[in-house]
Structure 1
Amino acid sequence: MASDLPLTIRPVVPADEARWRELFRGYREFYHLPESEDVVSRVWGWLTDSEHECNGLVAEADGRIVAIADYRRFSRPSTGTVGIWLDDLFTDPEARGSGAGRALIARLQEIAADEGRSVVRWITAADNAQAQVLYDQVATKTNWVTYDAPPE
């Protein structure tokens, strides 16, 4: 896909469901997560529930959704501020290099600025080198290491 196609960044709407589901499945497959329509449906429900903390953006090129970004606000007790956490960012493999990922991150930065948020933050896999090329251009890599502990 040409990188000069104009992109439209907008909030996800109910009519986006089929394409969002396709891209979200692609995101989950990329990270080797087990197939689960329950998870896909649950997250779609969150995005379309105005009372839920999760929000979604889409990038459109030539009338087709080519990328998605799911995000939420999060409290930062160490700084006494609120940031925006980018949970999921995925671009259709055929649209990589179109600027869609960059445009979605830029829109989140605008939202953060408009709302007086302190940061837009995300994580990625250490081996996701292609995405890190973009991330290194638009953000600063931190020195934080992430841990997951199971509920007991």
Structure 2
Amino acid sequence: MTGLRVIPVEPRHRADWDRLYAGYAEFYGVAQTPAMRDRVWSWLHDPAHGTRGLVAEDAEGRAVGLAHFRAFARPLSATTGGYLDDLFVDPQMRGQRMADALIAALAEEGRRQGWSVIRWITAENNARARAVYDRVATLTPWRTYDIPL
């Protein structure tokens, strides 16, 4: 897509980001309130919080994709990695490699930070996203477990 650029999320992206993040929550069947989005938005702009965000902008400067990420310690390798928490592209903009561009920008940020890996999870049935991930990364044999608190 011509005119696409990936940049850190800025205050001017709020309305687009809200729409995208609500779409992401809906896709995964997560009940998300405006107050929850307000909290995450505040994290993205708080230098003391570890969560950061990128957006993919179209030629008109509208955010049409988002990625949230953070650093995480890797004690066994004595390194720091990057964790991709959320990745979402406007359904009408899919198929233009925006997810690839967001992941590539995150990988570049990881190189700048000296991270040893970028890691993420996705749902088993998220076939479209998995096709992208299979193209740009290596599937690992690890399983994820949760203990609800």
TM-score over 0.5 for the pair: yes
**Matched positions, count:** 148
Contact 1:5 1:98 in 2 (8 A): no
Cα displacement (A) at 1:37: 1.6
Q: List structure 1 runs of 4+ shifted beyond 4 angstroms.
A: none
The amino acid that maps onto 1:89 is: L
Aligned residues of 1:23 and 1:92 also touching (Cα < 8 A): yes
Note the C-alpha offset of 1:66.
0.9
**Corresponding residue to 2:21 among 21, 24, 47:** 24
The residue that corresponds to 2:98 in the other structure is: 100
* Cα distance in structure 2, aligned partners of 1:37 and 1:46: 14
Q: Distance in 2 between matches of 1:35 and 1:85?
A: 21
Sequence identity percentage:
47
Select which of 63, 73, 76 maps to 1:75.
73
Q: Which amino acid aligns with 2:137?
A: A
Q: Is 2:129 aligned against 1:115? A: no
Q: 2:30 aligns with which of 30, 33, 46?
A: 33
Report matched runs for 1:3-152 at 5 Å: 4-63=1-60, 64-151=62-149
Once residues 6 and 15 of structure 1 are traced to their aligned partners in structure 2, the CA distance between those partners, rounded to angstroms, is 18
Instruction: Please identify, of 30-39 and 131-140, the stretch whose mean Cα deviation from structure 2 is larger.
Output: 30-39
Amino acid at match of 2:114: G
Runs of 5+ in structure 1 lacking a partner? none
Gapped regions of structure 2 (runs ≥ 5): none
> What root-mean-square deviation, in Å, do the aligned CA atoms of Structure 1 and Structure 2 show?
0.9
| Counterpart residue identity of residue 133, structure 1 | A
Question: Shift of residue 150 of structure 1?
Answer: 1.8
* Cα shift at 1:95: 0.4
Contact 1:72 1:84 in 2 (8 A): yes
* One-letter identity of the residue aligned with 1:92: D
User: What is the TM-score normalised by the length of structure 1?
Assistant: 0.94
| Residue aligned with 2:85, SS | strand
CA distance in 2, matches of 1:26, 1:54: 19
Q: Can you list the C-alpha shifts for 1:80-112, whole angstroms capped at 9, x where unaligned?
A: 110010000000000001111100100111111
